Each structure stands twice: as structure tokens, then as C-alpha cells.
Amino acid sequence: MLKNAFLMLLSLAIAIGGGGASVWYALKVQDGVGAIRIGQWTAFPDIGTPAADPYSKARVAREGVLALGRAEGLSFVAENDAAGDQLKRECTYKIEGGFPTARFWTLYAADQSLGVVETGKPRLAALQSYEVLRKPDNSVIISVGHHPMPGNWLLTNGSGRMYFVLTFYDTPIASSTGLSDVSLPRIVKAGCDA
Amino acid sequence: MRNFRAALRRLFHAVLLGIVGAGIVHIVVLLLVPEFSERDAWSRLSMASDLYRMNRLDAEAGGAPVVKSVDPLFYATACRFDLEEGMVRIKALGNVPFWSVSVYDRNGHNVYSFNDHTATGGKLDAVVLTPAQMIDVRRDLPENLQGAIFVEAPINEGIFVIRSFVPDDSWKPIVSRFLDQSSCELQDF
């Protein structure tokens, strides 16, 4: 009798604990269902639309996100560099390459919750396409780090994990058909503060 | 020995049952999260302000941002509406480099979006209404609504968000004024 009760409790504990924990974990990982990966960049074109999968819907409800619409833009998030290592706030990176067609784009360094990194200075940890210097072939090289650098400089601060959020506004790639042959800039690590 | 093996089998049975149960709980919890979330955009906004009141989403207006994941180079403002009370009209005056508008349903799903290239003369003047209200309006379009963008949305409660690009510091006061002067009100018809 006691053994039966114990087994029943065990089943219930596994069911409720495992079920709850797996949902929590699935909503926490950045990479999920409905993601589109281009190089190191991940986008969720369907997030926040009625056509989204249940995981995206739950994420939207839990985090109170109001996602960009198709006519507004599309966000890409990067959490690794080209070598596959996690992005660190204490490291210096180079973001280089061409950007797809859009009216303009913004790029910012983000923390775990995808809010912009606090720099403690008037300069934001963000850049936009109207203010960047371009190479003759229209590609862009952006240096990311704590210390001022020539050319385009994205200021970061602190230490720990970092994400890059690259958002294209008023862009044809936001309609899913345009996403197949888009190429995004590479993120290359240049070095780290000891 | 046989006793021990039987006990082991029952333990295995219980664990298997638990795993199947975990799958069911996973699906149920996943589907219930949007239903019971008190942290979704609507709940956060309703704590901050009333229906038909514009409410800044960016941190610039003071205090922590109400709804997160707003681009740091953007200002945004939102208002909640209920189409059962009538259609809602959104207006904003001024020239800014870029604005875009999204209409969300009660669950925070984007049902419609457009930007300044869609609007006549780049002026933000939009009306959100249900298909039934649209039929009434079509019959006799009032003079003052002629230039407006009509957004037909099959929803009752919803959220309206205006986002505007701030290219650099010099634009901050202009974009701020653009959003602060925007209005969101019930339109009589």
C-alpha cells in the first residue's frame, strides 16, 4: 500500500516537475522553433504573429514582447562569433561584410534580456546605418570594444555574455520569401581584455 | 529475487508513466501560458495607464520601460483600445525620419503594421475598426476621415504602437514631441 502510494507520487513528481521544467527550458533558450539562421544570426520572422508556433506565442506572453510587424522590420540576434564561441562583453570584435537591402538598420550590443548594454557614458552601445562609414564596395566594418577605435566603433562595457541585435527597418527581407539568399556580416573575434 | 525484480518492474512502470505525464503537462502548460500570463504586454500596459491613453514605452520618459525589447535608437508609444466601444483614431503631427505603426490583439500578436511610406504625405492618421464597423463607414465616409488609413482588424481589445526612429541626439526632442502629441481616441460615427 505504502509502496503503491510512493510509486504514484514518483510518477506525479516526474510528470509535473519534468513537464514544467521542460517548458521553462524551451522558453529560455534563444534558439527555438521557427528560427531562421543566417551565419551567426538568428531571426524569428513569425514571432508575434497569429501564425506563430505555440512556443513563440508562450514566449511573447511571458516576456511581454510587442514584436515588430512585417512592414516595420526584422530583428536578427547573434550569440556566437564566427568561430562558434559565445560573445563576451570584455572582448573586441569586428563585424564586417555587406548588409541586405533596407531603408536603414540599427545594431546594438545587448545583455541576456536583449536590452541594450549600459555603457555608463552618454554614448549608446548602438549604431545605425546613416552614421557608419562605408568601404568603396558599400560594405561596412564595425569594431566592437571598450576602447575607442578608428572607423565605426560600437562601444561596449562590463563583462559577461553579450548579444548583438541587428534590426532592418522597412525591408523586403521581412517577407519570408526574401530570406533565402540574404547574407549578413560576419562577427570575428579580435581579442579579449585579460 | 523475484520479489525484487517485480518491484523494479513496477518502479520502471512508474517512471515511464511519469515521463508520458510530463509530455502531457508540457503541452498543457505551454498552451496555458498565454492564457494566464500576467506579464504580457496588455497586462503591463494596463498597470501603467487607462484605455485610450498614450503611454511611452521607452525609458526616456522616466522610469523603467513598460514593455521591453524596444530598439535603443527608437522611441515608442502605445495605447490600448476596445473596439466594442467604437472605432479608434490615431493621429500624430510632425515630421520625423521614420515612423511605423503596429496593431496588436489582446495576446500581443501583431495583426497589422504599416510605416510612413504607406501613408499619404507621410502623415500619421489611422482608424482601427472591426469589419462590421467598416461596412457602416464605407456607406457614408465622413469628410474628416478621407485621408485616414483604415485598419480592419477582427479583434475587440487591442494595442496600438507607434515607433519612431531617433538617428541622433539632435532628433530626440523632435521625436519626443511627435510621440507626446500623438492622440488615440474613440471616433464618433
The predicted-structure confidence for A151-165, as pLDDT tens digits, reads as follows 999 999 888 999 999
Residue range B23-43: mean pLDDT, rounded: 86
Q: What's the N-to-C CA distance of chain B in angstroms?
A: 84
User: Which residue from A19, A23, A72 is facing B102, i.e. has the nearest CB?
Assistant: A72
* A13/B73 Cβ within 8 A: no
* B114/A130 Cβ within 8 A: no
Same domain for B77 and B161:
yes
Answer whether residue A28 shows pLDDT above 80: no
Helix (H, G, I), strand (E, B) or coil at B102: strand
Nearest-10 crossing angle of helices A2-28, B2-36: 40
pTM of the predicted structure, to 2 decimals = 0.84
User: Which residue from A15, A16, A66 is facing B104, i.e. has the nearest CB?
Assistant: A66
Q: Which residues contact A189 (CB under 8 A, 6 or more apart)?
A: A81, A82, A83, A85, A91, A92, A93
Helix (H, G, I), strand (E, B) or coil at B89: strand
Same domain for B110 and B17:
no
Distance to chain A for B159, nearest Cα, Å: 9
Answer whether residue B63 shows pLDDT above 60: no
Q: What is the DSSP letter of A84?
A: S
* B167/A131 Cβ within 8 A: yes
pLDDT at A119: 86
Distance to chain B for A22, nearest Cα, Å: 7
Lowest-pLDDT choice from A48-62, A101-115, B24-38: A48-62
Give the span between the Cα atoms of A159 and B142, in whole angstroms: 58
Are residues B168 and B189 in contact, defined by beta-carbon separation less than 8 angstroms? no
Q: What is the CATH number of the domain that holds B137?
A: 2.60.40
pLDDT at B141: 84
Same domain for B114 and B59:
yes
Give the span between the Cα atoms of B68 and B62, in whole angstroms: 14
Same domain for B98 and B24:
no
Same domain for B116 and B134:
yes
Residue range A118-134: mean pLDDT, rounded: 90
Give the span between the Cα atoms of B149 and B116, in whole angstroms: 11
Q: What is the DSSP string of A143-163?
A: EEESS--SSEEEE--SSSB-E
Can you give the residue range of the structural domain that contains B26?
A: 1-36
Answer whether residue B49 shows pLDDT above 70: yes
pLDDT at B67: 67
Same domain for B119 and B26:
no
Short-list B108, B67, B71, CA closest to A77: B71
Q: pLDDT tens digits, residue range A179-191?
A: 667 889 999 999 8
Predicted ipTM > 0.90: no
Same domain for B30 and B55:
no
What are the grid coordinates assigned to B150, written together?
A: 483604415
Q: Strand order in B74-82's β-sheet? A: B55-56, B74-82, B157-165, B99-105, B110-115
Distance to chain A for B40, nearest Cα, Å: 4
Residue range B56-83: mean pLDDT, rounded: 76
Residue range B70-86: mean pLDDT, rounded: 88
Q: Choose the most confident range, by mean pLDDT, from A52-56, A61-65, B135-139.
A: B135-139
Same domain for B52 and B10:
no
The CATH code belonging to domain A36-192 is 2.60.120.600
Q: Choose the most confident range, by mean pLDDT, from B41-50, B61-70, B94-103.
A: B94-103
What are the grid coordinates assigned to A15, written together?
A: 510528470
Answer whether residue B71 shows pLDDT above 80: yes
Residue range A121-144: mean pLDDT, rounded: 91
Same domain for B151 and B117:
yes
Residues in A closer than 8 angstroms to B11, CB to CB, are 7, 10
pLDDT band at B19 (very low <50, low <70, confident <90, very high): very high
Residues in A closer than 8 angstroms to B37, CB to CB, are 61-62
Residues in A closer than 8 angstroms to B158, CB to CB, are none
Residues in B closer than 8 angstroms to A104, CB to CB, are 98, 165
Residues in B closer than 8 angstroms to A45, CB to CB, are none
**pLDDT top residue among A177 and A79:** A79
Give the span between the Cα atoms of B55 and B80, in whole angstroms: 9
Q: pLDDT tens digits, residue range B135-178?
A: 888 888 888 888 888 888 888 899 989 999 999 889 999 999 99
Residue range B105-124: mean pLDDT, rounded: 85
Same domain for B88 and B159:
yes
Same domain for B108 and B29:
no
User: Which residue from B13, B14, B110 is facing A48, i.e. has the nearest CB?
Assistant: B110
Tally of domains within chain B: 2
Residues in B closer than 8 angstroms to A70, CB to CB, are 110, 113
Same domain for B73 and B10:
no
Give percent of chain B with pLDDT exceeding 90: 22
* A23/B30 Cβ within 8 A: yes
